[in-house]
């Protein structure tokens, strides 16, 4: 005799049959990419976002600002996605699973404000939705402090008369994938999931198995949410340590030392840099300290690393870059994004560079992912044509290792006397004209890339 389908199996069946849908709250990188992946598997998705421009992009099939997804094709090939700026529209979409993908940061700090804002709306949508007697679910994909489950999510359910675990399943399924596809994609990376109740975890395993090759269940939602914070913290500590070592030991080529060290099986590769940017890594210590308590004596070195990191660019500039760039009258900052081949500039060191170099007589910025207007709006700087514009620069600060910068033969545009500061060694090994002064962050003060390394270095892909 075959067993009766579980509640989780019935939910998945309803989603697959398109009798119910996934509702996404916040359609930015995380929310839109969730819609993209689920809709490709035939699941109906309904997204709500406060930004009309974002909603319009999704209606046009433009899911990611990284341009990884070919424009338009999801809507062209399926009718599985709708997007709206009216949250109450989701009530008509038979939403059975709500994914929360709203921002949880304000500036450089974690912030639960938007989560608090959307929870009552999600509850009202749940109460007013027809889902065929199945139990709806709320899964949080945004990065959160685990405590917020108990202080925000569950109280909001109770306040609207919904009993967690009975009327609504709750869980955390943090995102750790990267958008450029390949081995770090949502499909390929193991997905950590955890529910507040075993039923929630069971549903999460089945749901996320639709889009992820491997789903790893956590003990519960709190451990699932905290994994995201801690894995980012480990990375933050490593990067901050690499940066501090490069300042502490200027007599050493610290980039070289760290590359050599990384040939040991249990040591990741860290490259000293101009700073730690992005949504995730720089915030991890703050989530950790908030969760552990600001006075937690065991988190002293996390606190120290945060303080070091806050002052880092200024210290790097004073110790190494100021003297190098002081005679430059026409500097270009190449790359606004904090990471290669993406339009993401949150806490990018390019912003620090623009700030400290603002008194340069001619300061410009270029990034292939940002329009002239974008750069003007974000940094108040003009741009230049790349690579031709390099001809009239006597200083180049190469922040972002975009493919466009890696692949372009820039040598003929860069004249003798030009100073190049290269964040990740994107141009190391290039045959620049005699008299070009090249400095890769983390190396000794100024080196000629051609002659300084008589021995080949271990080859590994660099990570930011």
Ligand X SMILES: NC(=O)c1ccc[n+]([C@@H]2O[C@H](COP(=O)([O-])OP(=O)(O)OC[C@H]3O[C@@H](n4cnc5c(N)ncnc54)[C@H](O)[C@@H]3O)[C@@H](O)[C@H]2O)c1
Interacting residue ranges for ligand X, rule: CB under 6 A? 25-31, 48-51, 54, 101-105, 114, 117-118, 142-143, 175, 279-280
Residues 240 and 305 sit within 8 Å (Cβ to Cβ): yes
Which one, of 448, 426, 458, 104, lies nearest residue 274 by Cα? 426
Q: How far is the CB of 239 from ligand X (least distance, A)?
A: 16
**Beta carbon nearer to ligand X, 153 or 254:** 153
**Beta carbon nearer to ligand X, 88 or 263:** 88
Q: How far is the CB of 66 from ligand X (least distance, A)?
A: 10
Q: How far is the CB of 352 from ligand X (least distance, A)?
A: 20
Cα distance from N-terminal residue to C-terminal residue, the chain: 55
Q: How far is the CB of 107 from ligand X (least distance, A)?
A: 13
d(CA 382, CA 380): 7
Which one, of 201, 231, 226, lies nearest residue 216 by Cα? 201
**Beta carbon nearer to ligand X, 13 or 231:** 231
**Beta carbon nearer to ligand X, 254 or 283:** 283
d(CA 213, CA 204): 13
What ranges make up the beta strands (E) of 39-141?
45-48, 81-84, 95-100, 105-106, 109-110, 137-140
**Beta carbon nearer to ligand X, 12 or 280:** 280
Residue showing the smallest CB distance to ligand X in the complex: 28
Secondary structure letter of residue 337 according to DSSP? S
d(CA 443, CA 455): 15
Q: How far is the CB of 444 from ligand X (least distance, A)?
A: 34
Question: At a CB cut-off of 8 Å and minimum separation 6, what does 329 contact?
Answer: 360, 361, 362, 394
Question: At a CB cut-off of 8 Å and minimum separation 6, what does 65 contact?
Answer: 29, 342, 343, 344
Q: How far is the CB of 68 from ligand X (least distance, A)?
A: 12
**Beta carbon nearer to ligand X, 26 or 217:** 26
Phi–psi pair at 23, nearest 5 degrees: -105, 135
Radius of gyration of the chain (CA): 24
Q: How far is the CB of 176 from ligand X (least distance, A)?
A: 6
**Beta carbon nearer to ligand X, 179 or 424:** 179
**Beta carbon nearer to ligand X, 180 or 452:** 180
Which single residue is written with the structure tokens 């839109």? Answer: 32
Q: How far is the CB of 248 from ligand X (least distance, A)?
A: 30
């Amino acid at each position: 005799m075959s067993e009766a389908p579980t509640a989780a199996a019935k939910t998945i069946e309803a989603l697959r049959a398109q009798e119910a849908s996934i509702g996404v709250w916040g359609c930015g990188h995380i929310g839109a990419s969730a819609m993209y992946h689920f809709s490709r598997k035939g699941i109906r998705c309904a997204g709500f976002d406060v930004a009309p421009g974002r909603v319009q992009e999704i209606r046009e099939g433009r899911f990611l600002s990284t341009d990884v997804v070919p424009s338009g094709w999801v809507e062209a090939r399926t009718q599985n996605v709708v997007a709206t700026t009216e949250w109450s529209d989701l009530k008509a979409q038979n939403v059975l699973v709500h994914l929360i993908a709203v921002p949880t940061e304000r500036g450089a700090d974690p912030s639960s404000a938007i989560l608090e804002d959307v929870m009552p709306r999600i509850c009202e949508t749940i109460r007013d939705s027809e889902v065929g007697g199945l139990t709806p679910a709320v899964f949080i994909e945004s990065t959160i402090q685990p405590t917020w489950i108990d202080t925000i999510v569950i109280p909001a359910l109770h306040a609207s008369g919904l009993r967690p675990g009975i009327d609504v399943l709750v869980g955390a399924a943090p995102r750790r994938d990267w958008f450029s596809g390949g081995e770090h994609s949502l499909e390929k990376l193991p997905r950590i999931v955890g529910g507040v109740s075993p039923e929630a975890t069971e549903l999460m395993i089945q749901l996320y198995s639709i889009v992820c090759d491997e789903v790893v269940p956590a003990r519960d939602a709190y451990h699932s949410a905290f994994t995201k914070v801690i894995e980012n913290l480990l990375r933050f500590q490593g990067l901050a340590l690499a940066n501090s070592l490069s300042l502490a030991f200027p007599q050493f080529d610290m980039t070289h030392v760290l590359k050599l060290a990384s040939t040991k099986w249990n040591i990741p590769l860290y490259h000293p840099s101009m700073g730690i940017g992005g949504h995730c890594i720089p915030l991890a210590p703050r989530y950790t300290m908030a969760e552990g308590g600001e006075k937690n004596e065991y988190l002293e070195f996390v606190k120290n690393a945060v303080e070091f990191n806050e002052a880092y660019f200024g210290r790097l500039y004073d110790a190494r870059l100021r003297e190098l760039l002081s005679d430059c009258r026409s500097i270009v900052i190449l790359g606004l994004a904090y990471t290669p081949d993406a339009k993401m500039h949150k806490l990018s060191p390019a912003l620090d560079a623009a700030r400290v170099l603002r008194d340069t007589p001619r300061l410009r910025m270029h990034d292939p992912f940002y329009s002239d207007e974008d750069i003007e709006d974000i940094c108040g700087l003009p741009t230049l044509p790349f690579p031709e514009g390099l001809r009239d620069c006597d200083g180049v600060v190469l922040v972002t290792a975009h493919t466009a910068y890696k692949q372009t033969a820039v040598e003929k545009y860069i004249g003798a006397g030009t100073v190049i500061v290269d964040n990740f060694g994107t141009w190391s090994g290039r045959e620049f004209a005699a008299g070009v002064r090249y400095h890769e962050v983390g190396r000794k003060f100024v080196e000629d890339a051609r002659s300084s390394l008589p021995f080949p270095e271990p080859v590994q892909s660099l990570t930011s």
